Amino acid sequence: MNSKNFAMREKHMLKALETLEEDEEYSWKEVTLPSFIPVVPKPELDRETGERRRGRDIVVAIDHGPNSKHAFDWALIHLCRLADNIHLVHAILDMKNVLVYDTTEGLLEKLAVEALQVAMVKTVARIVEGDPGKVICREANSVLQGSVGEYCLHNCKVPVIIVPGKGIMI
């Protein structure tokens, strides 16, 4: 690849990583998760309504790679607690790609079941159309790997955790 082509490619990649403006619209679909995942009732006792019992919203960005699964597992084991809500987010470039959409929906359903079994946390899942870095930042906190994680680390206005692959020392 000559230097002119490399510079054009780099310019295109940087443009794709520009921050999504607040008024820009994007397309997303809520994933209907399996009906056997129970709805967690609100606490009945006053002592259970304090700060300690309030759940947090944790967004985990998911793709089909092993690093994404590793980050999801890490979040379940090290980050989640009983009253939390996990928001699984997967960014795709085109909602009309039925094969990718259906495969992603199946993956999110499987992860929701695992989140309930491992950490007893409620899960919400979204498939979002657009550039991964932009839409994940828009969705909020992110736990992911790679260059998209680097982008979110520098552009999100909320805390971001990046979980390294199994072979990498921290």
Better-scored residue on pLDDT, 47 or 114 = 114
Condensed to tens digits (0 to 9), the pLDDT of residues 75-131 reads 999 988 888 889 899 999 988 999 999 999 999 999 999 999 999 998 989 999 998
SS3 122: strand
> How far is the C-alpha of 142 from the C-alpha of 153, rounded, in Å?
8
Other Cβ atoms within 10 Å of 131 Cβ, number: 19
Task: List the domain boundaries for the chain.
Answer: 26-35+48-155
**CATH top class, domain 26-35+48-155:** alpha beta
Better-scored residue on pLDDT, 56 or 26 = 56
What are 48-51's contacts with CB under 8 Å, separation 24+? none
pLDDT at 41: 61
Share of the chain above pLDDT 90, in %: 31
Q: Which two tokens stand for residue 52?
A: 């300690």
> How far is the C-alpha of 38 from the C-alpha of 26, rounded, in Å?
30
Q: How far is CA 142 from CA 4, 77, 87, in A?
A: 34, 16, 10
Q: Is the Cβ–Cβ distance between 28 and 124 less than 8 Å? A: no
